[in-house]
Chains A and B, each alone.
Chain A
């Protein structure tokens, strides 16, 4: 179950919490939702589209690309029903800049795409990061580099988490691993975008986008009005507002970049989300996100049936990354297995997070074919049998 590790404060107590987190779920994202709403069986991509409307998003601009086209298709039908605007743009670049304009006007706006399209959108995302404009950008990623293929991949991790476009900036990156989380994190994404005035990215993949699961929903927000006193509305009764990212004055540029940096620090402090499962007595921690985590969970269950003590840490926010939680866990559990559907990207963040003596093993599979539970199980067993396993 997902745990909002933002509640895990730093220090000794926090380490205890991080280690024993499996005992007490601090805060479920969807806890309140699960209780009293009916579930609907829908696709991951549709869950995102439904959630966008429920979150009060009324402006969606995008360009077709597989495997995310269910999102624009759903919204083209259902946004107009709630008075919203769906616009199929002439390009990914135009789409993100329409989002920029709608966001500048104070609206909740969104675009969705897949890897190659997200690369094109990076121009606009960089501008929006500097403009401090909120928006939700969905990446139902596919394989790369280049045109790649349409199978699930986690090869866009670096692009998503390290900025992606030009300049010194970050976007918040949310990584769902179920259709329920596709829904929940979309709503959460809009809230975070408005809270911090910045683009937020959902990083999922074609497996998550195409699979169907029952989802509990909150329903449409009653009020979609969010006070944005910086927005461009026409300057009736006030001084003109300007939204820009050009800072030719050196001092102002430095000041602006530090301002953005401080915001990212605050996010790192307050918004980390990860799931920590079965780590209390674990000898091995498996770290994975998104669909890889989904598959790895099965492997963990298989390993546990064989008596291997393996727990899991699943980052839900990829930026901010759960560095502290990983450091805390790695103080006691020295064997860490990172599993990704790529040749090794998140593992770099794990390596800079772990405590000194922890040993990090990576297992990756550049995409084409999905990871299989058995092959991950094989890696867990290999790690178990490595010398010095017993502490």
Chain B
């Protein structure tokens, strides 16, 4: 028998600190598998964000720079402008990217920076203890929306992929989920595509991954999978929103 599934080389032999059933680990693994597949580990620079994904450098066997909350796309811009031939990616949650970091993500996408952004959307601030995020669903109870999010006062869950796809500078936008083995495989394909876009100098690529946070959703990992299928995917549809086939040139 041949080994068909093993730990990717781009991850260190360290156990994740994530809560049981958290999808961060799956997404970390997929990104690492893509880096392995493209054989770019030694020329990849990761930019971590603030939140549960801050410990990127503890897990990825690559160079990593930590960014202030929401600023990862700006930090990645700085790195990429210095090293145009390196693969630069950010790994950000929704509390980071879709709240405090909206300015940075929009303008980095609009400039068409040749970087890749992995956006983990679990509809909640995870590390700070489950407060409302801009992506929190209507009616979702969080520690700061004890009666559930209402569009009156709290607004609607923000759809980052749809918004970014409207920007001319943006080359690839997809939303995926990792709630089933089939979806994990599709997510891997999308993330591979995003990194390939960067390798081929196609410009800004963005993959939103719907992710479970059983701890802050206050449900079992199994129920969390069900919530993604029944509640999240209908509102945050899984699809490729944008895919340029030829790069923008002068």
Please give the residue numbers on chain A whose beta carbons come within 8 Å of chain B beta carbons, in ascending order. 59, 61, 85, 87, 89-91, 93-95, 97-107, 109, 123-124, 127, 131, 232-237, 240-246
Contact = CB atoms under 8 A, between A and B. Distances in A.
Contacts of B103: 90-91, 93-94
Contacts of B86: 233-234
Given A232-B45, A232-B65, A87 B81 contact: yes
B112 to A, nearest CB: 13
Interface string B50-63: 00001001001111
A226 B44 CA distance: 22
Contact of A241 (B43, B44, B63, B78): B63
A90 B110 CA distance: 10
Interface residues of B, number: 34
Contact of A106 (B48, B82, B106): B82
B82 A107 contact: yes
B196 interface: no
B29 interface: no
Contacts of B75: 97-98, 100-101, 104
B68 A246 contact: no
Given A59-B81, A94-B104, A97-B78, A233 B71 contact: no
Given A93-B74, A97-B74, A104-B78, A240 B67 contact: no
Contacts of A100: 65, 67-68, 71, 74-75, 78
A339 B45 CA distance: 49
Interface of B: 41-45, 47-48, 54, 57, 60-68, 71, 74-83, 86, 103-104, 106-107
Contacts of B104: 90, 93-94, 97
Given A105-B82, A124-B71, A232-B45, A240 B77 contact: no
Closest CB pairs A-B (n = 9): A101-B78, A97-B74, A90-B107, A234-B43, A105-B82, A102-B78, A101-B75, A244-B66, A98-B78
B168 to A, nearest CB: 15
Given A90-B103, A93-B71, A234-B42, A101 B47 contact: yes
Q: Which of B45, B61, B77, B81: most chain A CB closer than 10 A?
A: B81
Given A102-B82, A242-B65, 11 more contacts: A59-B81, A94-B74, A97-B78, A100-B65, A101-B76, A105-B79, A107-B82, A234-B44, A235-B61, A236-B42, A243-B66
Nearest to A126: B68
Contacts of A245: 66
Contacts of A243: 64-66
B79 A240 contact: no
14 contacts: A59-B81, A87-B77, A89-B107, A97-B78, A100-B65, A101-B76, A102-B79, A104-B79, A105-B82, A131-B66, A232-B64, A235-B42, A242-B65, A243-B66
Contacts of B68: 97, 100, 123-124, 127
Contacts of A94: 71, 74, 77, 103-104, 107
B240 to A, nearest CB: 26
Main secondary structure of the interface of A (DSSP, over half): mixed
A21 to B, nearest CB: 42
Contacts of A59: 78, 81-82
Contact of A61 (B57, B71, B78): B78
B80 to A, nearest CB: 8
Contact of B65 (A93, A101, A124, A234): A101
Contacts of B57: 240, 242, 244
B65 to A, nearest CB: 5
A169 to B, nearest CB: 14
Contacts of A246: 54, 66
A59 B84 CA distance: 13
Contacts of A107: 82
A220 to B, nearest CB: 19
